[in-house]
Structure formats: structure tokens, C-alpha cells
Amino acid sequence: MTKNKTNTDLELHDDSPYEVNIDFDDASRCWRENKKHVGNGQFQYICGATKTNGKICIRGRKMGFTRCAGHCNGERMDSDWLRIKGR
Ligand SMILES: [Zn+2]
């Protein structure tokens, strides 16, 4: 089994429809809330699940899902504005 390299395999579209015609300051903050900067201006979605110690899980999401592999409940992403790079 190969390791899931979500850090490098996920890339955000620059022309995301979520960044058009919105209050940028507020939206930017909200937009970053569930993501982490992984370098090169790229962001990766974080899991965001609340762990047993009360902290937010910042592990990368399982590809195509809304949670990391550890918290995945089968809920899939419903947007396609994350592009998965072919390797
Ligand atoms: Zn998690």
C-alpha cells in the first residue's frame, strides 16, 4: 500500500467560484479556516473533526472525502474545485 501523498496531490483551482463576488476579508478568513498552507501558495483541506482532547484535527483530508482517514465517515466532497493531479 502506498502512502497517500495528499500534500502534493491536491491543488486548488485559482479560478475557484468561491472567490468571485464575495467579501474578501471575511470570506478569506472563512476560506482558510478549514485549510492549511502547504507551501507554494497551495492549501490543503484539513479534517476539522474535534478530537477527544478538544483540539481540531488538522490532518489532511482523505482524498475526495470531508475528513481524514481516521475520522472519515464516508462523507464525500460534493465540490470539484479541488483538482487531483495525475501522477
Ligand atoms: Zn481527522
pLDDT in tens, 13-34: 555 555 556 566 887 887 888 8
61: in domain: yes
Domain assignment present for residue 60? The answer is: yes
Q: Is residue 55 part of a domain?
A: yes
User: What is the whole-number distance in angstroms between the Cα of residue 43 and the centre of ligand 1?
Assistant: 17
- Listed residue (62, 83, 82) closest to 74, CA to CA: 62
Query: Above 80 in pLDDT, residue 87?
Result: no
Instruction: Tell how far the Cα of 18 is from the centroid of ligand 1, in angstroms.
Output: 24
pLDDT for residue 73 = 74
The model carries a pTM of: 0.48
Domain assignment present for 86: no
Domain membership flag for residue 45: yes
Give the Å distance between the CA of 9 and the centre of ligand 1: 18
Is position 83 within any domain? Answer: no
Q: Is the CA virtual torsion 52, 58, 59, 64 positive or negative?
A: positive
Instruction: Write out the residue range of the structural domain in which residue 12 sits.
Output: 6-77
Number of domains in the chain: 1
Residue 87 lies in a domain: no
Question: What is the pLDDT, as a whole number, of residue 55?
Answer: 92
